Amino acid sequence: MSVNPADSPVFGALYGTDAMRAAMGERALLQRMLDVEAALARAQARLGIVPPEAAAAITQAAMVDRLDTAELAASTRNTGYPVVGLVRQLSMLAGPEAGKWTHWGATTQDIMDTAVVLQVRQALSLIRADLMGLNAALGRLAYAQRHTVMAGRTHLQQALPVTFGYKVAVWLSPLITMQERLEQLRPRVEKLQFGGAAGTLASLGDAGIAVQRELGNELGLAVPDIPWHVARDGLAEAVCFLGLLTGALSKLATDVMLLMQTEVAEVAEPHVAGRGGSSTMPQKRNPISCEYILAQARGVQALVPQMLGAMAQDQERGTGPWQAEPLAIGQAFLLGHGALVQARVIAEGMTVDAARMRRNLESTGGLIVAEQVMMGLAPALGRGEAHHVVHHACDLALAQGLPLASALMQDQQVSARLTPQQVAQLCDPSAYLGSTQVFIDNVLKRISS
């Protein structure tokens, strides 16, 4: 019976993805351990250490469906690790002659760490594919909405005009950086672990380095400069990356959720019948994807300190920190991928209400461009006096419910210098977008580069 909702048959539909469960689940880990054992036998057969027929028999036997999982669980409970029982069963399945060559020169942590790396390699490929898809969708959205003017908000209050395309580009820029980070970290994570009992490969004598190299080639993994049994920065970096990624996704989800509020209603998540509904309020369309992005992001970020704490490994084999890693790695990837897929759903199907954006923008009667008016009057009045005049006009507009342009024209200093048309132009939000288009172009160029 599952305890974590992300692993349950019902709640699991809300957390994570089936693809990541298949990559990071226990069944996959057992198969990856068998893959490493088989690859080790083949590598050693090429070097003349293991008979070729033994390597072939071990490879043929290395299938998770042939394991007795109940027996493996009993062995694991007794020894503290699954590898001893797994090797015993693999040796029996391979036959008495071939079986005596299994696990030659390896240690438990070699098999488990390398198996986890193989899982992580597949998991990072899943992350990469959906991150690229998300970024492409956000790029299209930023381009399509680059001229859609809306209220920019600071401290949840209308501040200055922006465009929705600019807002999307702000979401997109760190996610492009995440894609760059992912490419940079993979060589640091996707590394073979093979060092033997204490990391010296002493049991293989002069052949140790050759076996290590052949095993790396067999599995398509880089060979590290030294075994990393107690140097855990690679796996810790992978989980830290997931923390950063979900942090960036949280920004997108928070903004969309706020823009979906009934009183704002400028964007909406993709809608299908019944999605985001309430058991008592038929009108509700709740921001379900946003909510689960935020929930899963918090789950990932809670696991980051666990991985960082597990880096404090003692001597040549850790007593406890290593065992803490499996509690974090799989769940971090599962929740991280779940958040990413939800964000991609939003980006690919978001509804944008440009008319509502314009109405909200105009709801203050031009107050949102008070800075523009002040800067327009400053050459004639001086900045300080212009600030005073505009501030007074804003107070008048709020007190009497006037548009800012009307309030300004009641000031003699303004009416003596500017026509009503000029004042109206100063109060036009579309005329005060600064370098918005340049910034959007800067971000979009990073996608195409």
- The model's pLDDT over 148-159, given as tens digits with 9 standing for 90+, comes to 999 999 999 998
With CA atoms as reference, report the closest residue to 101 among 134, 37, 53, 54.
54
Q: Sign of torsion, CA 257 262 264 268?
A: positive
Given this model, what pLDDT does residue 275 score? 58
Residue 22: count other Cβ atoms within 10 Å of its Cβ.
12
From 88, 140, 285, 317, the catalytic residue: 317
Mean pLDDT over each residue of the chain, to the nearest integer = 92
> Which of 395 and 29 is assigned the larger pLDDT?
29
For the record, the structure tokens of 329 come out as: 């790695």
Residue 60 tokens read as 């043929």
Q: Which CATH superfamily is domain 5-358 in?
A: Fumarase/aspartase (Central domain) (1.20.200.10)
CA dihedral 48, 50, 56, 58 (to 10 degrees): -160
Distances (CA, A) of 208 to 30, 105, 430: 25, 8, 69
pLDDT tens digits along 190-218: 999 999 999 999 999 999 999 999 999 99
Query: Would strands 149-154 and 157-163 be described as parallel, antiparallel, or unpaired?
Result: antiparallel
Q: pLDDT per residue over 232-253, tens digit each?
A: 999 999 999 999 999 999 999 9
pLDDT at residue 385 in the model: 87
Is 42 an annotated catalytic residue?
no
pLDDT value at 282 more than 60? no
In the predicted model, is pLDDT for residue 272 greater than 80?
no
The answer to whether 256 and 269 are in contact (CB under 8 A) is yes
SS3 165: helix
pLDDT tens digits for 308-364? 999 999 998 888 888 899 999 999 999 999 999 999 999 999 999 999 999 999 888
- C-alpha–C-alpha distance, residues 360 and 372, integer Å: 18
- To the nearest 10°, the Cα dihedral for 75, 77, 78, 80? 100
3-state class of 263 per DSSP? coil
Q: Which two tokens stand for residue 343?
A: 């964000």
Q: What is the pLDDT of residue 276?
A: 53
List every span in the chain annotated with CATH 1.20.200.10: 5-358
pLDDT band at 425 (very low <50, low <70, confident <90, very high): confident
Which H, E and C letters describe 146-158, residue by residue? CCCEEEEEECCEE
Decide if 115 contacts 127 (C-beta within 8 A): no
Sign of CA dihedral 159, 165, 166, 168: positive
CA dist 153 → 162, 164, 237, 370 (Å): 9, 12, 34, 14
> Confidence band (pLDDT; 50, 70, 90) for 281?
very low
Cα(94)–Cα(62) distance, rounded to whole angstroms?
A: 8
Above 60 in pLDDT, residue 112? yes
Give the CATH number of domain 366-426.
1.10.40.30
Whole-prediction pTM: 0.93
Any catalytic annotation for residue 88? no
Share of the chain above pLDDT 70, in %: 97
Give, as one character, the DSSP assignment of residue 159.
E
Query: Which entry of 2, 125, 203, 278 is annotated as an active-site residue?
Result: 278
CATH 1.10.40.30 in the chain: give the residue spans.
366-426
- How many other CB atoms sit within 10 Å of the CB of residue 35? 20
**What one-character DSSP code corresponds to residue 12?**
G
Closest residue by Cα to residue 56 from 97, 27, 87? 97
The whole-number average pLDDT for the span 33-38 is 97
The tokens describing 441, both together, are: 């172009």
CA-based nearest residue to 66, from 101, 98, 41, 91: 91
- Classify each residue of 387-421 as buried b or exposed e, where b means 16 or more C-beta atoms within 10 Å of its C-beta: bebbeebbebbeeeebbbbbbbbebeebeeebeee
Residue tagged 């009108």 (tokens): 283
Secondary structure class of 264 (helix, strand, coil): coil
Helices 164-189 and 436-448, packing angle to 10 deg: 30
Query: pLDDT grade, residue 283 (50/70/90)?
Result: low
Which two structure tokens, joined as six digits, stand for 165?
């395309």
CA of 292: how far to CAs of 216, 239, 249, 334, in Å?
A: 39, 19, 11, 13
Strands (E), 290-419: 351-352
Number of other residues whose CB lies within 10 A of the CB of residue 61: 22
Distance in angstroms (rounded) separating the CA atoms of residues 285 and 289: 11
* Separation of first and last alpha carbons in the chain: 48
